[in-house]
Structure 1
C-alpha cells in the first residue's frame, strides 16, 4: 500500500470510512466552485469518484490520495495524480490536483500535500513531467501551483463547460525537490 507522511499529513489509499467525510466535502458549494461544472456531488457520485481513483491506482501505479491529518485522523480531502482525459490537447500528461474541505483551507495543507505528491510523481514514479490544470480565477490553486514551481504553459477552454483554464507544467529537469 502506498502511503506518504509529511510533517502534518498522511497521504494514503481510500477506505470505506472515507466515503461520508469526502461526500461532505464534495457537498460544499465553496469547495466545488472551481471543479468541473461547479456542481456539488452527493454520496453516490462521491463513491463513484473514489472508485475511479482506486481503479487508476491499479491501472497506472498512481492516483488520488486521501489526505488525513496526523494529529486528529480527520479526512481533510484529497490530492493526487490523474490522466486528464477530459483535455485531450495536453495528452499524454499526468495532472496533479487537490481538493480540501473548507475547515482545512489557509493552513498550508494543500501545498504540503501537493509538494509530497509532486515528489512522489517525479522521483518515485519516474514521471518526466507533471501538469496542473486550473480554472482561471482560482487564486488559491494558482498560489499552490506557484509554490510547487510549475510554470504557465498555455491557456485553453474546458471542452465541455467552456470556462477558461490555465495549464501549468514542470518537468524533472526543473524540479528542485
Structure 2
C-alpha cells in the first residue's frame, strides 16, 4: 500500500508506460538522471544492468535510454549502452535465468529422491564414520600413531624430542 505521509516520485521525468506494462518496470525511473554528477546513481544503474536476467528487459532499457536521449536532444550515453550490449551478449552466451536454473534456486538432492533410501540421520552417521576412519591415527608430524611398535613402546620421550644434536 502506498504511503500517505511521504511524497512519491514527483520530479519531472520521462514515463515509459508501454515498457512498464510489458516488463513490469519503468527503466526511465533509473535512467532519467544525470549519471555523470551522481556517482551513486551511476553505480546503481550499472549494477541493475549487470543483474538483468532476460534479453527482453535489456532491450527495454536500451529503448528507454534512446527515448531519453531524443527527449534531451543528445546521443544515448555510451557507458550505459555499452553495459547493456555486454549484458545482452552475456545472456545470449549463457542463457536467460529460467534456462540456467530449471529447478528454481535449489536443485532437488539425489539422496531424498526415493523414500526407501537412507534418512538424513543415517547419512550423518555414515559421514561421521568416514571422517573418523580418515582421521584415525593422524598427527600433525605425519607419524602414524594408530599402531605402537616395540621400539616406540620402550622409547622414552627424550629419544623423540631431540633434533639429532649432541647429548647434553
Which of the pair is proportionally richer in strand? Answer: 1
Task: Give the TM-score taking structure 2 as reference length.
Answer: 0.31
Structure (1 or 2) with the larger CA radius of gyration:
2
Which gives a bigger RCO, structure 1 or 2 (Cα 8 Å, sep 6+)? 1
